[in-house]
Structure 1
């Protein structure tokens, strides 16, 4: 009997491995999006070492910090706690199985939404546009495009059917990095998420496996909050993982008459209307020959947005936008409603 069970278990493992290998051929690794490598961020205890290793003023201690920090941090990423999460997040078979399950409606009372935007040459963003979608081009000659990352704290994210019980659910910090796209087959405009990240492992895995538009990664630490009446603090710490990074202290400012946005938008209000009226996420699954459309309701208007001033430090953003200057704004609170996930055929 024990031999039969062992043989059956070996057969199941063999089938799972075969399925994973075959699915990886159909769904290869990508530089961004859902099938970019997912890497665990490591332990929060590694923070001081990482900060020392990243410090530009460490001087003679830099090499020592690198040697002291890199090895234990890498060991943490390869630890028994991180490996199962990493394997599951990168599994094509797990994602394929999750596709069979319906995606329920979700609601969250989010707070302290910080939009960081960049106006860049459209050519810089074209490599991020998936097959079947087109980049929204703006500006006098259509040679520019907008890249945005927004960060916010959820307010008890969960299915609306839970009613008041939703209050017991956690409120993680999430960041969404997006380009603005157009579906030429349906005429729909929307956003495409280049990457997304959250600071709770359960939400990172759930979003990555079950939500088609969210290539969710895991942050080691994250904060977006009002430091005082005049200041908003934003920090995204990916540790040694694959999530994006950002660090900013931004202050509330009067509505500007000019700025990095001016060459593409007539007024600041025009820019706000363009950025916030994007209640649809579009993603492409070429192995299914389909485009997925996720309908999201925010109901934001320019009146809900408050200009921010200040610099933003982000290696991840610089890799995408180059030396473009950010222009930011803050939304105190808004209710996010995810209503449905729809599909249509991806045509040549």
Structure 2
């Protein structure tokens, strides 16, 4: 330390001592530290961006769970091979046969009732509902579905709508086998679209297209009309608007909660011990999704019918939707995230982007003024 002080004294014409030199250095460095602190605290947007990088909860909502390998040693690998032979060589052909026999019986009864029975009366609607329920039971049997239902079964009453979390299109099949719901569903191409147009319309289902703005107005009007009908099947709506991986629940759309009806929450939770029932529609067609279910050991899930909920005085439809989402998430053990599920298909709107930019700019200006 003495040598350092001497060298400083020799190089400094004013002969500063070591304490004065260090004090001067700290004064010069102080503005730099202050500027760095300002940069780190300039806006909560930086914290939000860092959090999105570290823990991207939006992407996690639509990510299939990777299966952990269990057949990695010499003892388990032969057992796994034996299971593959059983599932693909015995169970899959048997399930295909069950599904084919079910379709034959279904069309034998449905086609004459649907197209030859011209009078649209009560008995025709009852027979169509029972046939649709029967076919859904056949689908569940083709997966060796083990479904436990909890709570009172839904009854056909006017002024009510059922809402449920959404993992796959099979949610509709599992719920439909107990009661013929009229579901609100995205239009699909191929054989699924054919079933929508020829079969499911008989139970009052309503279709829409996400890309058509006019469809939203039409669907809203049809929802209100259907909810008022005394003889219509109960409405089933998946307010998330997209399939989520049964670990999270995204924001509920408010459409089902502003109809002035009783809202009956339904919580669905799949057990992933045999197969993950999540349908990642961006990576897999629904046909391949069904094949994966039919080549698994079983589809196991629990379904809870919760108490009907009503709009409280002074409560907005958005708050009502969040309250129902809380009930479903708590019952099914799902994690809530504040994301809009439609962001899975679309980029954020320019208004949202401009609002974020405005908040960031205001934070920068405030710090610069200080």
TM range (shorter): under 0.3
TM-score for the superposition, normalised by structure 2: 0.24
Larger Rg: 2
Indicate the structure with greater helix content.
2
Scaled by the length of structure 1, what TM-score is found? 0.25
